[in-house]
Amino acid sequence: VNDTTPFAVQAEVTLKTNFFGTKNVCTELLPLMKPYGRVVNVSSMVSSSALGRCSPELQQKFRSDTITEEELVQLMTKFVEDTKKSIHEKEGWPNTAYGVSKIGVTVLSRIQARQLSEQRKGEHILLNACCPGWVRTDMAGPKATKSPEEGAETPVYLALLPSSADAPHGQFVSDKTVRPW
């Protein structure tokens, strides 16, 4: 928040790291996932609040059950390009690069889960996005409410879902609870 780096630069770096980095790792590793595997993408509750600050048109796209990975990549790229032209707010985007990057992670997780259900049906692979909470890290600072151990609870819970579990899958989870998207 206090970073004086131009917003367009922040947007490009943040999306490259949080969204495109996650997408690239999943593109390489998902084909290697064995049956009963678990994938946990780390998102944030900020994705939900940022989604609520998007235009109705963008919200509809991000909530769509049929959005493709290609369409999502186009939207994430458009956000970065819109920030470079200083028109992102006029185009319906919230003024948070971190929030948009985490919208991308959450929506990507929903898309990937849908693809796994279609292409690898019967393999019982579960893929979800989660929010660890406000954790005391270098980014969040010492006033954050959760210790790193407490922040790890939801990601570890999802990673260790038993082989008999068929849910959650393609969900956004916080405090071990599925949250509406």
pLDDT of residue 38: 98
Residue partners of 108: CB distance under 8 A and separation at least 6:
19, 22, 23, 26, 41, 69, 72, 129
- For the chain, domains (ranges, CATH) are 7-179 (3.40.50.720)
| Three-class DSSP category at 181 | coil
Check pLDDT > 90 for residue 1. Answer: no
pLDDT band at 136 (very low <50, low <70, confident <90, very high): confident
Most confident of 1-5, 105-109, 135-139: 105-109
Q: Is the pLDDT of residue 148 over 70?
A: yes
Instruction: Kindly report the average pLDDT of the chain as a whole number.
Output: 95
Own/partner long-range contacts of 158-165 (Cβ < 8 Å, ≥24 apart) = 158/38, 158/40, 158/126, 158/128, 158/130, 159/38, 159/40, 160/38, 161/38, 161/126, 163/36, 163/124, 165/124, 165/126
Residues serving a catalytic function are 98
Compute the average pLDDT of residues 75-98: 98
d(CA 144, CA 156) in angstroms, rounded, equals: 20
